Structure 1
């Protein structure tokens, strides 16, 4: 595994990512998008263990930070940052961008799946780096069904009711034209597995390639690199 390199994609202190390259040939790029209900008190340190594991598995990891609620984020600043952070990959030397997978946990799962369809939405139609697949780890994917989660985190993120921001809701964007893989703990009491179930049902009904892989454990087992849930996720990535 190579050294971690910090690369800014904007002038705000939260507009940067950490790049970790594998020691050998790369399988592709995985964009790691951390969770924390879009709130500023959570940061990309949550993604560092996953980025290290991914590099050991042969992936180039791009652990992305972004503006969050409380430090200039929210809608649309947070998705602006995620899109710009992914596009920054086009300026990094030596990357093969034919395979760019977004991998996000919780609110990061929302952003990962959102980013996979962003080029169909204004004002992101000119995004430069397409996402070729998305992996949602206990993601908040059905915003309309998530109003009670995280003490009102969804409305705090959007700044208004969900039905006023249709472009924010992954369930409303189905079908995507790239695969979506959901991994979710059966015992998740923070973001219930019904979030992934609802998304996958809507996506598959619309003809999309979307699957749900339930795993044993809670909300955080999916981001524990020592867990079977993570090993399952690594296997799903290999097939994308």
Structure 2
């Protein structure tokens, strides 16, 4: 595999954030504290894969909205448990929270991984009555690779998955520092575990597919992130813009690739306020 050093640098998040290990340690500690204080329905299985599990944290009020979060890690790292601290602000606002786990590349292909996320969403849709959240107000969000997966959900025709066609199952969506043109990653070290050829990368890129779920969509990038991440969201904003009545583009001031997603845990942040506003709370 021939590496393009310029593209490799644009998308090398850890090299751009020297203290990334400290940040991950902080996330883990905050997640441990969250788990000790909040009872959840953990490791609910939605598929057969080792990591095809999700966690549900339920608000006290019945039939409240549901916020679904998909973690990042370039489809090859991280775990749902490392992000669960992001759920506290939503629970405090009376919003149910789901954290989706998924199998990682190269144990599965990226195409298979996308199908796992679709299965997870269908599971959440079908189990709304059982767990007591509002099936009509399901918001999805994701960070980095999770932002890509959010938009792949938006690009899904749910008819073949058994969901009704007379309603939009996704109420609103947030893609944080997402990756929407995967052809940019083919000549980078990130692709070593993904194994994407150019044609497959294009088929799995939201930028090159038509959205099927039209709802309020927010694309967020930290102001201090590389031009690569800004271009990813800018291009999708243009490419999908004609399809959406509301497609917002936000630059989070003084945020890099990791600190931007942590804004979901800050109730006064513009990111969290957008999320709450578009769940009707």
TM-score surpassing 0.5? yes
Partner of 1:79: 114
**CA–CA separation in structure 1 for the residues paired with 2:211 and 2:46:** 30
Query: Which segments of 5 or more consecutive residues in structure 2 lack a partner in the other structure?
Result: 1-36
Contact between 1:28 and 1:96, CA under 8 Å: does it hold in 2?
yes
Candidates 65, 90, 95, aligned match of 1:28: 65
Instruction: Give, in whole Å, the separation in 2 of the partners of 1:162 and 1:198.
Output: 18
Aligned-residue RMSD, C-alpha: 2.7
Q: What residue number does 1:237 align with?
A: 275
Q: Could you list the runs of 5+ residues in structure 1 that have no partner in the other structure?
A: none
Q: Contact 2:182–2:201 at 8 Å: present in 1 too?
A: no
Q: Which has the higher helix share?
A: 2
C-alpha displacement at 1:146, in angstroms? 4.0
Q: Which residue of 2 aligns with 1:132?
A: 171
Structure 1 Cα separation of the partners of residues 135 and 265 of structure 2:
29
Over 3 Å counting, the alpha-carbon distance change for 1:229 and 1:59 in structure 2 is closer
* Larger RCO, structures 1/2 (Cα 8 Å, 6+ apart): 2
CA contact (8 A) 2:265 2:272 kept: no
1:141 to 176, 180, 203: 180
Residue 60 of structure 2 aligns to a residue whose secondary structure is coil
Aligned with residue 117 of structure 1, among 155, 166, 169: 155
Q: Which residue number corresponds to residue 45 of structure 1?
A: 81
**Residue by residue, what CA displacement relative to the aligned partner does 1:46-93 show, whole Å, maximum 9, x if unpaired?**
3211123222222111100011103x3222211111011111111251
Give the match's secondary structure for 1:110: helix
Corresponding residue pairs, total: 232
The CA deviation at 1:229 is: 9.5
From the superposition, tell whether residues 91 and 115 of structure 1 become closer, same or farther in structure 2 (CA, over 3 Å). same
8 Å contact kept, 2:183–2:201 = no
TM-score scaled by length of structure 2: 0.73
1:14 Cα deviation from its structure 2 partner: 0.2
Task: Compute the displacement of 1:221 (Å).
Answer: 1.3
Q: Give the number of the structure whose alpha-carbon radius of gyration is greater.
A: 2
Aligned-partner Cα distance in 2 for 1:35–1:134: 16
